[in-house]
Amino acid sequence: MTARPVRTPGPGDLDRAWQAVSAVLEPTPLIPSGGLAPDALLKLETFQPTGSFKARGALAAVAALPEGVPAVTASAGNHGLGMGYAAARSGAEVTVVTSARASMAKIDKIGAYPVRLILHGQTYDEAEAHAMTLPGHYVSPYNDPAVIAGQGTIGRELDTQVDGPLTVIAPVGGGGLLAGLCLWARERGDVRVVGVESAVSRGVSASVAAGRVVEVEVGETFADGLPGNLEPGCVTPAVIGDTAELTSVTDDQLRTALRWLFHEHGLVAEGAGAAGLAAVLAGRTEVTGRTVVVVSGRNITVPTYIDAIRES
């Protein structure tokens, strides 16, 4: 795959994304979770209309499209849902490519939106490569300045919800969410950011460490929003740079987090959505000061969820 020219986002992108996102989405709840850590808070992106934070980046990306230009994207599921939601609101022409092994809960929901849905390949990487061959403006779920800035609007909401200094902990797949939070954190100056990958897919941390995008081996995980390599030339590692700390969790630690979230708060999350929580519960990151854990999504099939929270 040949590297695409992608512009690195800056503060102006965050301003434009905030205008697009705040005009549509209500701020998501920020609830106390003293059982997790003193002063800990959960930022519930599970309450977004599409069930995940990806609606933010999609709204920002569609708002940034030149008039009349169709959008095409690849998705493990949640970004496709966000793009479908944005298409329904704006009337934009959107094509979404997912792998045949993507979560059926997400595929079915994407198909309910006014988008052209294509199933291609057995992995996200294969779906992404195919999407890039299709006509239209390619909107990466992580390697796009408007998408990255859209995810950073979580931080703009936190500005109005909680005083700093803060530690913000969030999941990492392709790094769009983490890059957006880093963009915001550098603006604030009193925010520590921690990103949490799957232990079987650490492409972002490897690329940050190498100073360039590198390919890694990707293993199996039930957290379908986390695995996959980065496209060549991806800007998220450079945006993240040394602003964020990076760690990882196992599937067993994700399952523990899903059970904890259900028992302590009566809340449902998907595996990727609970990665930040898993890192705190497993001691994979130091908890300092006022901590905000982003619970990023809830789109999971009932059988997968039941299997995940079943006590061993």
Q: What local confidence, expressed as pLDDT, does residue 164 receive?
A: 87
What would the two tokens of residue 224 be? Answer: 């379908």
* Closest by Cα among 123, 153, 120 to 224: 123
Q: What local confidence, expressed as pLDDT, does residue 1 receive?
A: 66
Q: By three-state DSSP, how is residue 95 classified?
A: strand
Q: What local confidence, expressed as pLDDT, does residue 214 receive?
A: 95
DSSP state, residue 241? T
Q: What local confidence, expressed as pLDDT, does residue 287 receive?
A: 85
Query: What's the one-letter identity of residue 192?
Result: R
Interatomic CA distance for residues 118 and 136, integer angstroms: 14
The fraction of the chain above a pLDDT of 70, given in percent, is 99
| Model pLDDT for residues 181-207, shown as the tens digit of each residue | 999 999 998 999 999 999 999 999 999
Using pLDDT thresholds of 50, 70 and 90, give the confidence band for residue 101. confident
Q: Reply yes or no on whether the pLDDT at 3 is more than 90.
A: no
Q: Same fold for the domain at 11-52+146-309 and the one at 56-143?
A: yes
Using pLDDT thresholds of 50, 70 and 90, give the confidence band for residue 259. very high
**pLDDT (average), residues 93-107:** 90
* Ranges of H-type helices in 70-170: 78-90, 104-111, 124-131, 145-151, 153-161
- Enter the CATH code of domain 11-52+146-309: 3.40.50.1100
**pLDDT (average), residues 153-161:** 98
| Model pLDDT for residues 53-82, shown as the tens digit of each residue | 999 999 999 999 988 899 999 998 899 999
Q: What local confidence, expressed as pLDDT, does residue 289 receive?
A: 80
**Mean pLDDT computed over every residue of the chain:** 95
Interatomic CA distance for residues 103 and 79, integer angstroms: 12
- Enter the CATH code of domain 56-143: 3.40.50.1100
Q: What local confidence, expressed as pLDDT, does residue 2 receive?
A: 75
Which H helix or E strand runs over 237? helix 236-240
What would the two tokens of residue 240 be? Answer: 């993240």
Q: Reply yes or no on whether the pLDDT at 312 is more than 80.
A: no
| Model pLDDT for residues 280-293, shown as the tens digit of each residue | 999 999 888 899 99
| Model pLDDT for residues 232-241, shown as the tens digit of each residue | 999 999 999 9
Which of 110 and 106 is assigned the larger pLDDT? 110
Which H helix or E strand runs over 249? strand 244-249
Q: Reply yes or no on whether the pLDDT at 102 is more than 90.
A: no
* Closest by Cα among 156, 73, 153, 78 to 115: 73
**Residue spans per domain, the chain:** 11-52+146-309, 56-143
